Amino acid sequence: MNASTGNALQDALKKHQLNFMPLIQTMGMLPVLLILCILFQLVTGYAETADFSHAWQSGRFLSWQNLSIIAQQASINTVLGAGMTFVILTGGIDLSVGSILAASAMVAVSISLVPGASFLAFPAALAGGLVLGLCNGGLIAFLRLPPFIVTLGSMTAVRGLARLLGNDTTVFNPDLPFAFIGNGSIFNIPWLVVIAFATVVISWAVLRRTVLGLHIYAVGGSPDAARLSGIRVPLVLLFVYGVSGLLSGLGGAMSAARLYAANGLQLGQSYELDAIAAVILGGTSFVGGVGSIWGTLIGALIISVLTNGLVLTGVSDIWQFIIKGFVIIGAVALDRYRLRGSART
Amino acid sequence: MSEIELRSAGPILEMRNISKTFGKLRALRNVQFSVAQGEIHALMGENGAGKSTLMKILAGAIRPDAGSEISIGGTLVAMTGPMAAKALGVAVIYQELSLSPNLSVAENIYLGRELRGKGLAAGWLDRAAMIEGSADVLRRLGASFTADAKVCDLTLAERQLVEIARAVHSNSKILIMDEPTTTLSERETERLFTIIRALRDEGLAIVYISHRMEEIYELSDRVTVLRDGTYVGTLETHAISPSAIVQMMVGRDISTFYKKNHDAHNLRGKPILSVKGMSDARRVKGCSLELHENEVLGIAGLVGAGRTELARLIYGADKASAGSVAVDGVVKRIATPLDAIRAGILYLTEDRKELGLFLDMSICNNINVGVASRDARMGGLLNFRRSRERSAQAIKDLNIKVSSPKGLVGALSGGNQQKVLLSRLLELNPRVLILDEPTRGVDIGAKSEIYRLIDNLAQRGIGVIVISSELPELIGICDRVLVMREGCIAGELGGPSNAAINQNNIAAILTAASECDVPEHRHTHYSNLESRAS
C-alpha cells in the first residue's frame, strides 16, 4: 500500500537522522572552524595573486605568525567564555564580565603603581573579580533574583566603579610586574595562549571530573529536581558566578598586561557579548544542562578567526559587525536544531 | 470532509484499528471505539492504558499509524491536525483548561472565530455581537456569570463551563471530557452532570474519561475499557458493574498481581518515623502519622487532598509552618531535602520528568547524582569506578532495560525511567521511603516489579509510605492506609485496631461530609470509623 511505503521511507529517514545527530553533537562547531580557516586562506591568497591555482600557497591566513596572533586574540575571550560556560550551564547568564574585566584591570594597574605592593597587583585583579562575581552570585542564589537583571545591573554599576577607580582616566605602568603574561612567551608559545588553554583544561576537569561539576549540570538540567535530590542549589549558583567573576579578573590582568595600562571606560566594552557568543557557538544550550568547555574554546576561536580573517581580506569594520551578528544568530538556530534531536520527550 | 449529516443512522464516531507507536513503545494496538449520537460513553483504563493517546488521536493532536481508520458520521476522515478535528466537530475539554485568562468569556468563546464588524467597522472586532452570541449559549448552559466577565475572575468550575460553551457554540458533535471533575466540589460536579445530560439529550456524543467509578455508574450509557494499549471490550448499560469494570481493567486476578510477603509485625513497635502536627498553613492542616519498620503505609485521598504537599513537607521540599519530624525517636530539623536525606528520609516525586530525572544526563549519572558526594575521592573528585559499579548493580537488581548505562535517561520508557529514579534513592540507603504515585505512567509489567520491590524493601526493614490514587494498588500492597481529605488525615484503615482496608471503607471516609477534625480528636474519629465498619 502507498501509505505503508511512505511510512517505511519516513522510518528510514528517521534512522538516518538518528545516526547523524550524535555526530553533530560531538563534533560541534569544529568543522565550521576548519571550513572558515580554509576559506580565509583561499580568499587571502586570491586577493594577493588574483589566480585561483596559486591561491592556497600564497594565502596569508594560515601562517604560523597569523595563527599565533589569532590564538592571542582569542585568549581573553576564551577565559571569559570559560566562566560564562559555567554560568550558562546552570541556565543563567552573566552580562557583567566586560565591566568586571575593566574594574580588575584598573585595580591591577593601580596597585602595581604602589611602591612595595606591586607584587600584589596580579592577585588583587583575581580577588577583585572573584568578589564582584560572588556579589552577583549572592544576589542570584540567595535573593533569587533573575540572573539577567542582576548582571545587567552590575554591568552598569561595575563599569561606573571601574571609571571611579582611576578617576576616569587611563592609568599606565611601563614597569608592570606581570607584563610578561601579556607579551612574553614560553617555548615560543605566548603566555596568553598558555593561560587560556590552562583555564580550559582546569574548567574541563571541574565540570567533568568533580561532584561539583555533576551538580552544575544537574542544576542546569532542572533546578527543582536538583534540589529534591539533595543538591545545594544556591551554593552551586554562588560558585558558578564566582568562577565567572574570577576568570573576568584573570581576563582583566591579561588585558592590562598586554597594554601596560587600563582604562575604566573603554576596556572590555561588549566583551560579554563575545563571551556569550563563544559559549553558544560552542553548542552549550541556553536553557542549561547541556554543553562542554571544549565547545566554548572552538566558539572563541571561530570568533577570533572571523575577526582576523575579515580584516585580512579587507572587509570593512561595519560589515564585520553585520557578519558576526549573523553567525551568532545562526548558532542559536543550530542550538534549536540540536535540542530537537535530543531525547527530551 | 465537509458537513456532517446530523441525523445519520449508526454511530457518529467510529474508530477502527487504531494503532500508535512511539519509537519502540506500542501505545495502542488495533483499538476500536465507537460512540453513538446522544450517548455518554465512558472510556476507562488504568494509567498508561492508552486512553489519552486515543483521545489525542481523535483530537488531531497526534497522528495514528497507517491503517488506522476514523469515521465521523459514516464518512472516513483524516485527522490531519487539531484544526481539522475542530472542523469535524470534535471538541476536547482538557484537564488543564486552555482558556486565555486575561480575555473575557465572550472573547474566549469566539477565540479564533472572532466576529468582525461590517461597513465602516470592517476589520474591527464586533464585541457587542460576540457578547450577544455568547450570552445565548451561556443561558442554555445555565451559567451564572455574564459573557463580558474576565475569565481570570471565574472559579475553576465556571471556567470549565466556558470551555463547554465554546465547544457547544462551535457546533461540536463530539465532546471529549478528560477527568472533568478532579478539581470540582461535589455541588459543582452535580451541576456539571446535569449539563452533560442535557447536552446528551440535545444529541451530542460525549466521551467521558474518569477514574471515579461512582461517576461512571451515575453518568454513562456505555463503557469501553482499554488495557495496555489494547481494546478489552465495551459494556452495555445493563452490564455495567464495578466488578466487571475492574476485572476488565486489571485483566487478571488481583491477588497474584500485588505482592505482600513482608511481615509487618512491628506495627505496634516503636515507630521509625513519626510526624506530628505537620502544617503549611495552606493545603496541609496538622497531619500526624507514624511509620514502623517493615511497614508499607498507604496514603489515599482525592487529588488536591494534600497528600503530595504533606510528603513534600516531611521531606523539607516546602516550608512547614508547624510540625515536627522524628526519625527513630529523635526529632530532626528538616529545612531542606538535603536535611531529610541525611536523616534517612527519601522522597520519590510524582512528576519524574520535571522534578525527578535529569533528562539530558546519562542513566549512570542519574542513578549516582545523589550518592556522588558520598563516593567522592579526595574531597570532590568523581569516583567513576564506583559509579559504574553502582549503576551496573542497580540495572541488574531492578531489571532496568537499557542499551548502555551511558545512554540518555530521557530515551527510556516510563517504567524504566521510574526504576532509574528509584535506584537513585535506594543508593542513599533510606530508612524511610516516601513514594508519590510510584506507578504513574508505568506499564503493567514494570508496575508489578515495583510492587515486588516495595515488598522487598519492607522485608529489609525500610519503612515505606505509598501515596497513590489507585485504590486497588493501596489495598493490594499496604499494611495500613491513611485517608486524607482537605488537608487532614480523616481516617485510618488496616493495622491491629482499625477497620479492614477495602474500597468501601476508603470511599466511606473520602465521602464523609464532616468537616476536618483537628488532630487532637483523631481518636474519636477512629471509633466513628469502627462503628461504621461494623
- Cα separation, A67 vs A63, in Å, equals 6
Lowest pLDDT segment from A125-139, B295-309, B488-502? B488-502
Would you identify the CATH topology of the domain B255-533? Answer: Rossmann fold (3.40.50)
Joined together, the cell numbers standing for residue A231 give 543538591
Contact B107, B118 (CB under 8 A): no
Give the per-residue pLDDT at B529.
Answer: 37
Domain limits for position A176 = 28-35+63-335
Distance between alpha carbon B272 and the CA centroid of its chain, in Å? Answer: 30
Question: Average pLDDT for residues A292-309, to the nearest whole number?
Answer: 90
Asked whether the predicted pLDDT for residue A3 surpasses 50, the reply is no
- The rounded percent of chain B whose pLDDT value lies above 90 is 19
Whether residue B374 has pLDDT greater than 50: yes
CB-nearest to A211 from B336, B373, B408 is: B373
Asked if the Cβ–Cβ distance from A214 to B365 is below 8 Å, we say yes
pLDDT on residue B408 = 87
Q: What DSSP element (H or E) covers B366?
A: helix B363-368
B→A contacts (Cβ < 8 Å), by residue, are 65-67, 315, 317, 336-338, 341, 347, 349, 354-361, 365, 368-370, 372-373, 376, 380-382, 408-411, 424, 428
Q: Is residue A341 part of a domain?
A: no
Question: Total structural domains in chain A?
Answer: 1
Does position A206 have pLDDT exceeding 90, yes or no?
yes
Q: What is the pLDDT of residue A245?
A: 95
A244-266: pLDDT as tens digits: 999 999 999 999 998 898 888 88
Distance CA A87, CA B233 (A): 55
Give the pLDDT band of residue A339 (cuts 50, 70, 90). Answer: low
Residue in A218, A229, A345 nearest the CB of B410: A345
Q: What is the average per-residue pLDDT within A22-34?
A: 66
What share of chain B has pLDDT > 70, as a percent?
A: 88
Size of chain A, expressed as the number of residues it contains = 345
Q: For this complex, say whether ipTM is above 0.95.
A: no
User: Grid coordinates 497526534 are at which residue?
Assistant: B62
Across B66-97, b (16+ Cβ under 10 Å) vs e yields: bebebbbbeeebebeeeeebbebbbbbbbeeb
Tell the residue number behind the cell numbers 575604566, with chain if given: A264
Residues above pLDDT 90, as percent of chain A: 44
pLDDT digits (tens, 9 = 90+) for B390-422: 999 999 888 888 888 888 888 887 888 899 999
From B338, B356, B361, residue closest to A230, measured CB to CB: B338
Using the predicted structure, report yes or no on whether residue B519 has a pLDDT greater than 80. Answer: no
A70 located within any domain: yes
CB contact under 8 A, B382 and A213: yes
Average pLDDT over every residue of B262-269: 69
The pLDDT assigned to B530 comes to: 37
Rounded to a whole number of angstroms, the distance from the CA of A20 to the nearest CA of chain B is 16
Nearest CA in chain B to A214: B369
User: Strand B463-467 relative to strand B480-485: parallel, antiparallel, unpaired?
Assistant: unpaired
| B317 chain-A contacts, CB cut-off 8 A | 227-228
Q: What is the CATH number of the domain that holds A80?
A: 1.10.3470
| Residue A214 to residue B369, Cβ atoms within 8 A | yes
The pLDDT value recorded for residue B517 is 45
Q: What is the arithmetic mean of pLDDT over A296-321?
A: 88
pLDDT in tens, B68-90: 888 888 888 888 888 888 888 88
Per-residue pLDDT band at B209 (split at 50, 70, 90): confident
pLDDT tier at B528 (50, 70, 90 boundaries)?
Answer: very low
Beta partners for residue B484, in sequence order: B301, B489
Where are the domains positioned within chain B? Answer: 11-89+173-251, 98-171, 255-533
**Residue B1: band (very low, low, confident or very high) from pLDDT cuts 50, 70, 90:** very low
pLDDT band for position B533 (cuts 50, 70, 90)? very low
Q: Please indicate, yes or no, if residue A52 is contained in any of the structural domains.
A: no
Burial, B333: exposed, middle or buried (Cβ in 10 Å; 0-12, 13-18, 19+)? exposed
- B69, B360, B362, B428: which to substitute to probe chain A, counting the most A Cβ within 10 Å? B360
**Range with top average pLDDT, A64-73, A134-143, B39-48, B64-73:** A134-143
Question: Which residue in the block uniquely carries the three cell numbers 446535569?
Answer: B194
Does residue A41 lie within any of the structural domains?
no
* Mean pLDDT calculated for residue range A299-319: 88
Contacts of A102 (CB under 8 A, 6+ apart): A158, A159, A162, A252, A262, A263, A264, A265, A266, A267, A268
Using 50, 70 and 90 to split pLDDT, how confident is the model at B252? low
* Angle, vertex CA A58, rays to CA A57 and CA A63, nearest 5: 85
Q: Does A212 touch chain B (CB under 8 A)?
A: yes
Between A21 and B510, name the one with better pLDDT.
Answer: B510
The SS3 of residue B435 is: strand
| Residue B122: strand pairing partners | B117
Cβ(A199)–Cβ(A76) below 8 Å: no
Second-level CATH architecture of B11-89+173-251? 3-Layer(aba) Sandwich (3.40)
Predicted confidence at residue A104, as pLDDT, reads: 94
The CA distance from B164 to B175, in Å, is 8
- Does residue A281 lie within any of the structural domains? yes
Residue type, B18: I
pLDDT in tens, A146-200: 999 999 999 999 999 999 988 888 888 888 888 888 888 888 888 999 999 999 9
Partner-chain residue, chosen from A4, A212, A218, that has the shortest CB–CB distance to B380: A212
Q: What is the DSSP letter of B34?
A: E
Cα separation, B52 vs B47, in Å, equals: 9
Contacts of B66 in chain A (CB under 8 A): 1, 3-4, 6-7
Average pLDDT over every residue of B166-177: 86
∠ at Cα B225 (B222, B228), nearest 5°? 170
List of chain B residues whose C-beta atoms are within 8 Å of the C-beta of residue A6: 66
What is the per-residue pLDDT for B145?
Answer: 86
| Chain mean pLDDT for chain B | 82
Question: Do the domains B255-533 and B11-89+173-251 match in fold?
Answer: yes
**Which residues of chain B does A1 touch, with a Cβ-Cβ cutoff of 8 Å?**
66
pLDDT digits (tens, 9 = 90+) for B99-115: 888 888 888 888 877 77
Question: Can you give the pLDDT at residue B534?
Answer: 33
What is the predicted pLDDT for the residue at B336? 92
Q: Which of B227-236, B242-251, B315-324 has the largest mean confidence? A: B315-324
